Amino acid sequence: MNATAKGGEPAFVIVTGMSGAGRSTAAKALEDLGWFVIDNLPPGMLFSLAEEVGRAKLAADKVAAVVDVRSLAFTSDLNVAIEELEGRGVGVRVVFLEAGDEELVRRFENVRRPHPLQGEGRLVDGIARERGILRDVRANADLVIDTSSLNVHELRHKIVAFFGGEDRPGLRINVVSFGYKYGMPVDADLVIDCRFLPNPHWVPELRPMNGLDAPVRDYVLNQPGAKQFLDAYEEVLGIVAAGYSREGKGYATLAVGCTGGKHRSVAMAEQLAGRLRDRQMEVQVSHRDVGRE
């Protein structure tokens, strides 16, 4: 990642998010990539860290701080710290790790630890309290990663994909196919609905296949409106990507959905990813719900 603010100023990354969503895994992955990472840093010490980075002559675009919510003044402290840093010419990029309530409960129960904010209440009370405190931080984050369906190895892979190519400039796009019946990806910046196309599920010979198989791909792409939709949305994405880059957004998640996330969304996601690569964009593709039925 080339973590620079608009105008070329040095910047560093803040990793935050829900407790149990994988902050420690993300931090370890960054360390393995050669980043200098400070864990559990209070927001009020971010500026001191930036000053120390300058004194130590560390590469500012490979420094990260992991910040959690245990401070009751977390949101205000973090916002003040970011404003102070940016006022001194240091750009900040915020990475937010998210997960669903049920998955967070399962993770805490597996390790038999209380949530840091549950106090005398229930585990779900702590999660709800933390989610409320972090609402604005999540809304303003530069990158949101939903780890609900990821194991530690898959999360590490995502971190490496986002931050391992620091010499590659420009916007990085994660294209993910999904099925609406399993819920929309919570980290999506843009959502495309492919349910206007006929469903290969109702074609007996295509039903066992998925959108990566040539017969399904050809069936989907030959439907009326499919090519026109791809042409139009490619142009839209070009405009959006240019705007994101101007605003300093380094990452975007494009979610492509159909009913089950097996046929139409997979084929269309692959096509859009290929078109974006042809525009010299850095793209990674994943198919969240293939094999889930």
Annotated binding site for ATP: 17-24
How many CA atoms, within 13 angstroms, populate the side-chain half-sphere of residue 45? 13
Instruction: Cite the annotated binding site for GTP by residue number.
Output: 68-71
Residue stretches of the annotated binding site: 17-24, 68-71
3-state class (DSSP) for residue 202: helix
Give CA–CA dist 220/140, Å, rounded: 36
Q: Is the dihedral of CA 68, 69, 73, 76 positive or negative?
A: positive
CA angle at residue 157 from 134 to 179, to 5 degrees? 70
Contact status, residue 61 vs residue 3, Cβ threshold 8 Å: yes
Q: How far is CA 247 from CA 5, 6, 7, 171, 242, in A?
A: 10, 8, 11, 11, 9
